[in-house]
Amino acid sequence: MPDTTRTAESDPTKTMDEPTGSTSSSSAHEVSPHLEPKPASETPSTETIFDCRNVDVLYSGKLAVAEVTAPLMKREITALIGPSGCGKSTFLRCLNRMNDLIPGAEVRGEIIYHGQDLYAKDVDPVQVRKHIGMVFQKPNPFPKSIYENIAFGPRIVGMKGDMDEIVENALKRASLWDDVKDRLKDNAFGMSGGQQQRLCIARALAVEPDVLLMDEPCSALDPISTNRIEDLMLEIKEQYSIVIVTHNMQQAARVSDKTAFFTVDLSAGESNRVGRLVEHDVTEKIFTQPEDKRTEEYVTGKFG
């Protein structure tokens, strides 16, 4: 089996300029435990938001995802695609340390975010998640009112300002305001699935993160709701970096700037299946002239 990370190395999108202040040695961290994103620079999409270096994920000592090396770009939408079980969700959860919540999960390697390794010893995962929000496959609003769903995050992170305004802004950004402005006090469970998912996006945006991770956010939704969420992603990518896992090729093609294709490596046997990054490139290239045969087979539907 050839080293699949090679393709990522030769990835033309990889800018070799290091993010500010990062050193390649993981022992010399002078990072503060409070991750404060630095002000945005004028030149988007040549700057990395996550610089992943040799990321391995293990569950109870068993390798699930191996050797992911990829720079993910600021203010772009990166789509993660690949067959079921190839570790897309697992890799996504590394990016905001959600894997810390799974007993037995272990992450190796480095993920440099604003010059700091997310997995450095003194980094607090709770702080990380305040800046890197997440939207899940199934809408998961809290059993509270629409208003309280949005206000929850800003309250716990101690955001200052008028809460009504914060809630209104978040709902507007998720283009949900007009749907719900007259029933903010209603329970969120009374909304449609698509509205619930947009509520979850609004909820994540309310704490003003700088990255949004989305794990198959549309898989439980009808095409119209899916469309609205895709439009929404395209709107908000001006301000946020987005990483989205999707099984929907058209969706990846429609919304993403870059696409990363993962696959399951069975070379060590069926019981040692490992997810690997095969190719990471400009979306159009992945879908029209991929470097790797496996990518081509997958995107043309001959595989998985």
Ligand X SMILES: Nc1ncnc2c1ncn2[C@@H]1O[C@H](COP(=O)(O)OP(=O)(O)OP(=O)(O)O)[C@@H](O)[C@H]1O
Minimum distance of ligand X from residue 105's CB (angstroms): 7
Judged by CB under 8 A, the number of residues near other proteins is 29
156 binds, options ligand X, Mg ion, other proteins, none, Cβ within 5 to 8 A by partner type: other proteins
Measured CA to CA, the distance from residue 174 to residue 235 in angstroms comes to 9
Residue 106 vs residues 26, 99, 111, 130: alpha-carbon distances, Å: 17, 8, 14, 21
User: In the block, which residue shows the tokens 């050797």?
Assistant: 67
84 binds, options Mg ion, ligand X, other proteins, none, Cβ within 5 to 8 A by partner type: ligand X
What residues numbered 56-85 form the site for ligand X, per CB under 6 A? 59, 64, 82, 84-85
Geometric angle at alpha carbon 102, from 273 and 56, rounded to 5°: 45
Minimum distance of other proteins from residue 142's CB (angstroms): 6
Is position 136 an interface residue for ligand X (rule: CB under 6 A)? no
Is position 236 an interface residue for other proteins (rule: CB under 8 A)? no
Is position 275 an interface residue for ligand X (rule: CB under 6 A)? yes
By beta-carbon proximity to other proteins, the closer residue of 197 and 283 is: 197
β-bridge partners, 68: 55
What residues numbered 91-110 form the site for ligand X, per CB under 6 A? 102
Identified binder of other proteins from the candidate list 40, 156, 234, 266, rule CB under 8 A = 156
Residue 133 in contact with residue 213, Cβ under 8 Å?
yes
Is position 130 an interface residue for other proteins (rule: CB under 8 A)? yes
Identified binder of ligand X from the candidate list 86, 98, 132, 171, rule CB under 6 A = 86
User: How are beta strands 116-117 and 105-113 bridged, if at all?
Assistant: antiparallel
Q: Strand, coil or helix: what is 117?
A: strand
40 binds, options Mg ion, other proteins, ligand X, none, Cβ within 5 to 8 A by partner type: none
CA 111 to chain centroid:
13
Minimum distance of other proteins from residue 170's CB (angstroms): 12
Identified binder of other proteins from the candidate list 143, 161, 223, 301, rule CB under 8 A = 143
- For 164, other C-beta atoms within 10 Å of its C-beta total 11
> Of the candidates 92, 94, 96, 95, which has an alpha carbon nearest to the alpha carbon of residue 129?
96
Residue 76 in contact with residue 70, Cβ under 8 Å?
no
CA 230 to chain centroid:
15
Measured CA to CA, the distance from residue 130 to residue 80 in angstroms comes to 22
Q: Which residues bind ligand X (CB under 6 A)?
A: 59, 64, 82, 84-90, 102, 273, 275
- Contact set with other proteins (CB under 8 A): 96, 98, 101, 103, 126-131, 133-136, 138, 140-144, 152-153, 156-157, 189, 200, 203-204, 207
